[in-house]
């Protein structure tokens, strides 16, 4: 059985929270969740318990897709060195850098 993505997990927790509020019991919420997502009742109970613990809707992260760019060798070396020293993935570092760049509104031209 494959593990759910972060987006799937967030959606299932949010759905579980809504079902907790609309169903008569945690058992019926888990049953409804299991049917809706075609997962085992045991797994549905885990989502229901987590939703109950969190107690509020959680944000659903964007789906990630591959995006290929060409960078200089030196930039790549520096990026890999930084990733190794911080324990972050290359994707995490590039995402943080691009988000910071876009939030600051810096544009050329």
Nearest residue to 44 via CA among 69, 12, 76: 12
DSSP H or E stretch at residue 77: helix 73-86
pLDDT per residue as tens digits for the range 78-108: 999 999 999 999 999 999 999 999 998 765 5
pTM more than 0.85 = no
Whether 1 is covered by a domain: the verdict is no
Same domain, 12 and 38: yes
Instruction: Identify the CATH number of the domain in which residue 82 sits.
Output: 1.10.1220.10
Rounded distance between C-alpha atoms, residue 61 and residue 95, angstroms: 13
Site of tokens 């809707």: 57
Domain of residue 14 covers 6-54
Helix (H, G, I), strand (E, B), or coil: what is residue 85?
A: helix
Rounded distance between C-alpha atoms, residue 14 and residue 108, angstroms: 40
Q: Locate 22 and state its tokens.
A: 């609309």
pLDDT per residue as tens digits for the range 26-55: 999 999 999 999 999 999 999 999 999 999
- Give the total number of structural domains in the chain: 2
Q: Are 100 and 50 in contact (CB under 8 A)?
A: no
Nearest residue to 14 via CA among 76, 6, 106, 82: 6
Same domain, 69 and 104: yes
């Amino acid at each position: 059985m494959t593990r759910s993505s972060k987006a799937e997990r967030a959606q299932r927790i949010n759905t579980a929270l809504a079902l907790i509020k609309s169903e008569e019991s945690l058992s019926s919420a888990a049953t409804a969740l299991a049917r809706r997502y075609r997962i085992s009742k045991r797994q549905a109970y885990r989502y229901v318990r987590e939703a109950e613990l969190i107690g509020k809707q959680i944000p659903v992260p964007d789906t990630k897709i591959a995006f290929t760019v060409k960078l200089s060798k030196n930039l790549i070396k520096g990026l890999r060195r930084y990733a190794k020293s911080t324990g972050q993935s290359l994707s995490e570092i590039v995402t943080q850098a691009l988000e910071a760049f876009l939030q600051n509104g810096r544009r050329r031209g």
